Structure 1
Amino acid sequence: MRLMELIKDIKPRALKGNLEAEVSGISYDSRKAKPGDMFVCIPGTRDDGHKYVKQARERGVVVFLTSREVEAEAAQAVVVVEEPRLEMGKLASRLAGEPSRKMQLIGITGTNGKTTVSYLLEAISAVEEIACGVIGTINYRWQGKSIISSNTTPESVEVLGYLAQMVKAGVKRAAMEVSSHALDQKRVAGICFRAGIFTNLTPEHLDYHENMEAYFQAKARLFTEVLPGKWLAEKIDFQPLSVINLDDAFGEKLFALAPEKKVGYSLARKSADYYGRIVHYGWDGIRVRMTGPAGELELQSPLLGKINAWNILAASACLSELGTAGEKIVQGVSALQQVPGRMERVANDRGLLLLVDYAHTPDALENVLRIVRELETKRLVLVFGCVGDRDRKKRPAMGRIAAANAQLVVVTSDNPRTEQPGKIIEEIEAGIKAAGFPKAKRPGPDAQGYLIEPDRRAAIQMALESAREGDCVLIAGKGHEDYQILGDKRIHFDDREEVKRILGTR
């Protein structure tokens, strides 16, 4: 596409060089730049793309999108703008043929529940016979194709590339997890959403966001800036939908800020647009009676716990507002058997409830433990650790939560990264000790208290050897992940595989 056609809707601070340049692609990593590309110089927290102009030039780049003047050769152009990342998304969307406008794209944000909601949207879409794509924490997938996720929400250039492939493959709807980092960094610029879902907000990523208010403001941007089209090159011609959890304090606050059209869902407020009442939950799943504008639906799901009642309401309310028939929602909710690494059951012949879950924050761990306690198992055996090089404040907090809810806790490593596993465990142990939880003398069926085993494989084996019929063994923190990060190395490690190997049920 000719440069001046590509940038027709943006207002550069400066424009110089070859304005007749033909742009065939957009890149922001000089190592991946190709001949004919526009290279975007993104100023980052760790690095600055302006430092790599020379390398990009050597790779045949024809245009530089920058926030300050850079040197260019005669055949190249320089476009100087206030926010290169924001404009990058708009331009990438135009170059890709505006794929997000050719589908029903639903954005999901919140601390917990994003992945499960995306799976529910996909399951209901399958019953409707609507081809649905997903971009999220576990993978990016559509029409039988799956790509391992590198980020919950990739850069806009990648997202738009995936959406373009989806459109080409016949996808009519997509569910996309939208992280707070992506919103803060405007990684979803140029992407047009038909609807947005807010699940909840609890402490996480406070090593990045200064405080909970800053974290909330980042999440809120999906509803106050992205959905209304403020990050798009061209105006939208429809009214986007906001679907918000009113049982969350930040959800209440967001509901007041979000523009119309908006609906709230709740398990506590009968006055909510979509009110759900849990009528059954147990080892076999959950049943929620949802009342909304179209009437009452009985939603039966194999998923476990109250947190999934909210997730079911979120997905059901969203698609109901977008026109999905009630019977299709009922069928889709019941069709989703499990979500990888989200309260995922591992089959066994020992009479144990074996669960692998991604809970890696205090709130998520407390929610999962509460769910298990409500299921009335005999004993709760918990295996967990905390990641390295991340928010240290949550370590003692998670230790206290573990001590308050489990009968036996095995503290181990998660992804220690460059930290010493022993140091991380010491900080978790401080919270356990503060709760007055005793240290167990040894593992075994009668063990009570906590044990320390830095080797995650050995810790899982210790927990399984200590469990007896009727107990729940919960392995928390890594969920769907099939790797462990030790130092700067990533090794293969999957909690579910380890359980099956130990039990001989592979």
Structure 2
Amino acid sequence: MPICGITERSGNVKEGFIFVARKGACDDGILHVREAIERGAVAIVIDRNGNVNLDGLREVTLIIVPDGRTFISHASAKLAGNPSESMTIIAVTGTNGKTTVTHFIGQLLLMLGEQAAVIGTTGLFMNGRKVHLDIPDMTTLPAEFLHPLLKECLEAGMKYIVMEASSLGLSTSRLDHCKIDVGVFLNIGVDHYEEHGSKEAYIAAKKRLTKMARSLVVNVDDWQCVKLVGNADRQVHFFGELTVAGNLIPDDLYPNFLPGKHNRLNALAAVTVMHVLNWDTFDTLPLCNKLVLPEGRLQCLREGGVVVFIDYAHTPDALQTVLASLTEESTGDLITVFGCGGNRDRGKRPQMGKVATTYSSKIFITSDNPRNEEPFAIIEEILAGISCEREKVVVEMDRRRAIEKAVRYAKAGDTVLIAGKGHEKTQQIGQELFAFSDYEVAQTALRNKNL
């Protein structure tokens, strides 16, 4: 019989769909079989022995497979016509920097006259323009959304796809049936350990990309990334702080204009990918002068001598990298506003408190996305990493007020870093999402500073 689509979300079922009744972390698809059939599902797929009560329902096909996730990945690619086979796919993984590097690669391709789409944390961009589609707000899309999206990109004339490959995306088979030409390894830091069960499981998830990509681009300055690709049976191209594809970078071609050493390294990662795609390194390096950081990545506001940066840094490594860069480049005091997300790796919270104290003259600790955790309990875990210099710390649970206080505190010549949420336009408290933009709050606070 004709099949129109596949999903593991019963609410997304339409006439002619396959419904995969997979057991998830919080829910079991078998509990939603009746709804799926009522919505028009013509087949039910399960990946375990179990009773599926179909009494009183119209006749459907019941299929048992070894692994529901693998089946969704395979079937989604097949139903979309395997679009990844007709494009060049670049997948970027790393604890920090994925969004910036994917956008840099997309921008370089566009400068060279190529049609490219970027898919990741900040959404979908085709040839540098954001495209608004009804897709989940996720770093790496589930296969049932990814392959139809790749098909749309192909039909829109995109030759290249540059996507973020999160550890969770890799470990849950979202990219299993997507042909990947270049896999990029930026760094391995502290994040998502609890979601994977351990650091080892987190690293094993990243390592899956070494088998999936035809060529690898690897940060030679990150020993864990180097170790990860040590036994790779495919070509590996290294980049580092001073090198691209093994070549030293002449001083006059180094991308010094970008704020932060980490962003200059991100640019060199992008140039190395271009080398793998057969562009001459010394032709693409000068193009780095035109690169623009994506929204929420050291996004800058200036008013009355005060400089405010909005950045997505939400791990100890990312926060340290950004603060170290701003320390080198700032002339006045460095003031930091940050919090930690709820229902995420708790081990990083005291580490981030310690990092912020090390580099900052003043710290405003606040809420990030507390989700289902008690906001003050999260703040107490951050404070546990600050053993001394508590006098430089201000606790303000309300994020809006924390940003306003930090901006008011800053004097001409000072730098304020608002870290953790970057481009996000919402704040999640409990199960509710509230409209909230660090950039807009900071912009208003700067305007009102001298009133």
TM-score bracket for the superposition, by shorter chain length: over 0.9
Gaps of 5+ in 2: none
Q: Distance in 2 between matches of 1:490 and 1:302?
A: 37
Equivalent residues of 2:330, 2:415 under 8 A apart: no
**Contact map agreement 2:303 2:447 (CA 8 A) in 1:** no
| Structure-1-length-normalised TM-score | 0.83
Pairwise mapping of residues 390-469 of structure 1 onto structure 2 (< 5 A)? 390-432=344-386, 434=387, 436-439=388-391, 449-469=392-412
Partner of 1:137: 121
Inter-partner Cα distance in structure 2 for 1:42 and 1:328: 49
Aligned to 1:256, the other structure's residue is in SS state coil
**Structure 1: 4+ residue segments shifted above 4 A:** 69-75, 275-279
Measure the CA separation in 1 of the matches of 2:202 and 2:380: 28
Give the letter for the 1:438 counterpart. R
Higher relative contact order (CA 8 A, sep 6+): 2
Instruction: State the 1:253 CA deviation.
Output: 0.9
Is contact 1:43–1:49 with CA below 8 Å preserved after alignment? yes
Q: Mind listing any 5+ residue stretches in structure 1 that lack a counterpart?
A: 1-20, 228-239, 280-288, 290-297, 440-448
How far 1:425 moved relative to its partner? 1.6
Structure index of larger Rg:
1
1:465–1:83 Cα change, 3 Å: same
Q: Deviations over 1:163-194 (max 9, x none)?
A: 11001110110111011111111111221111
What RMSD over aligned residues (CA atoms) do the two structures have, in Å?
2.1
Shift of 1:306: 1.6
Give the Å deviation of 1:120.
0.4
The amino acid that maps onto 2:73 is G
Q: 1:380 aligns with which of 300, 313, 334?
A: 334
1:128·1:328 contact (CA, 8 Å) conserved in 2? Answer: no
Task: In structure 2, give the amino acid aligned to 1:134.
Answer: V
Q: Of 234, 245, 255, which aligns to 1:260?
A: 234
Structure 1 residue 203 displacement after superposition: 0.9
Task: Report how far residue 314 of structure 1 moved.
Answer: 1.2
The corresponding residue for 2:267 is 312
Letter in 1 for 2:389: F
Cα displacement string for residues 287-322 of structure 1 (whole angstroms, at most 9, x for unaligned residues): xx7xxxxxxxx1436421221122112111111111
Match of 2:132 in 1: 146
Alignment check: 8 A CA contact 1:123 1:333 kept: no
Work out whether residues 123 and 332 of structure 1, in 8 Å CA contact, stay in contact via their aligned partners in 2: no
Letter in 2 for 1:475: I
Tell me whether 1:349 sits opposite 2:303 in the alignment: yes
**Partner residue of 2:218?**
244
User: Structure 1 residues 344 and 363, CA, compared in 2 at 3 Å: closer, same or farther?
Assistant: same
Which among 68, 77, 80 is matched to residue 48 of structure 2?
68
Q: Distance in 2 between matches of 1:438 and 1:181?
A: 36
Aligned pair in 2 of structure 1 residues 276, 481: CA closer, same or farther (>3 Å)?
farther
Alignment match of 1:339 (pick from 294, 314, 326): 294
Q: 1:192, 1:71 → 2: CA distance?
A: 38
Give 1:360 deviation, angstroms: 0.8
Q: Give the C-alpha shift of residue 149 in structure 1.
A: 5.4
Tell whether 2:92 aligns with 1:98.
no
Distance in 2, matches of 1:276 and 1:475, equals 35
Task: For 1:171, give the aligned amino acid.
Answer: M
Give the distance between the partners of 1:46 and 1:315, measured in 2 at CA.
38
SS at match of 2:193: coil
CA displacement, residues 35-79 of structure 1 (integer Å, 9 cap, x when unaligned): 111112222222222332222122221122221354667853233
2: CA distance between counterparts of 1:176 and 1:420? Answer: 34
Using the TM superposition, name which of 249-258 and 92-101 deviates more. Answer: 249-258
1:201 paired with 2:185, answer no
Give the conservation status (yes or no) of the 8 Å contact 1:357–1:474.
yes
Q: 2:210 and 2:384 mapped to 1: Cα distance?
A: 39
Count of aligned residue pairs for this structure pair: 442
CA distance in 2, matches of 1:405, 1:356: 17
Give me the whole-angstrom Cα distance separating, in 1, the residues matched to 2:16 and 2:286. Answer: 48
Q: Show the counterpart of 1:22.
A: 2
Secondary structure of the 1:496 match is helix
> Is it true that 1:480 corresponds to 2:423 in the alignment?
yes
1:46 counterpart SS class: coil
Is 1:363 the counterpart of 2:317? The answer is yes
Q: Within 1, Cα distance between the matches of 2:416 and 2:432?
A: 28
2:232 partner amino acid: A
What amino acid is aligned across from residue 212 of structure 1 in structure 2? K
Asked whether the equivalents of residues 27 and 157 of structure 1 are also in contact (C-alpha less than 8 Å), the reply is yes
Please tell me whether residue 89 in structure 1 is matched to residue 41 in structure 2: no
Whole-angstrom distance in 2 between the partners of 1:368 and 1:76? 55
Find the aligned partners of 1:206 and 1:104 in 2 and give their Cα distance: 31
State the Cα deviation string for residues 386-436 of structure 1 (Å, max 9, x = none). Answer: 11222222211111111111011111111112222222222222222x1x1
Matches within 5 A, 1:264-303: 264-267=238-241, 273-275=245-247, 279=251, 298-300=253-255, 302-303=257-258
Deviation at residue 115 of structure 1 after TM alignment: 0.3
- Matches of 2:227 and 2:209 in 1, distance apart? 14
Equivalent residues in 2 for 1:171-210 (5 A)?
Answer: 171-210=158-197
Distance 1:74 1:124, change over 3 A: same
Which has the higher mean CA deviation after the structures are superposed, 56-65 or 190-199? Answer: 56-65
Letter in 1 for 2:98: K
Residues 483 and 493, structure 1, Cα contact 8 Å, conserved in 2: yes
Deviations 1:353-372 (A, max 9, x none): 32111111111111111111
Deviation of residue 243 (structure 1)? 0.6
CA distance in 1, matches of 2:257, 2:434: 32
For the 8 Å contact 1:301–1:337, the answer to whether it is kept is no
SS of equivalent to 2:285? helix
2:341 alignment partner, SS class: coil
8 Å CA contact 1:483–1:492 kept in 2: the answer is yes
CA gap 1:277/1:407 in 2 versus in 1, 3 angstroms = farther
In structure 1, distance between residues paired with 2:102 and 2:219 = 16
Deviates more, 1:363-372 or 1:141-150: 141-150
Alpha-carbon offset, residue 156 of structure 1: 0.5
SS at match of 1:257: coil
- Contact 1:301 1:336 (C-alpha < 8 Å) held by counterparts: no
SS in 1 for 2:345: coil
Query: Separation in 1 of the partners of 2:248 and 2:294?
Result: 21
2:10 is aligned with 1:41: no
Which AA in structure 1 matches 2:308?
Answer: L
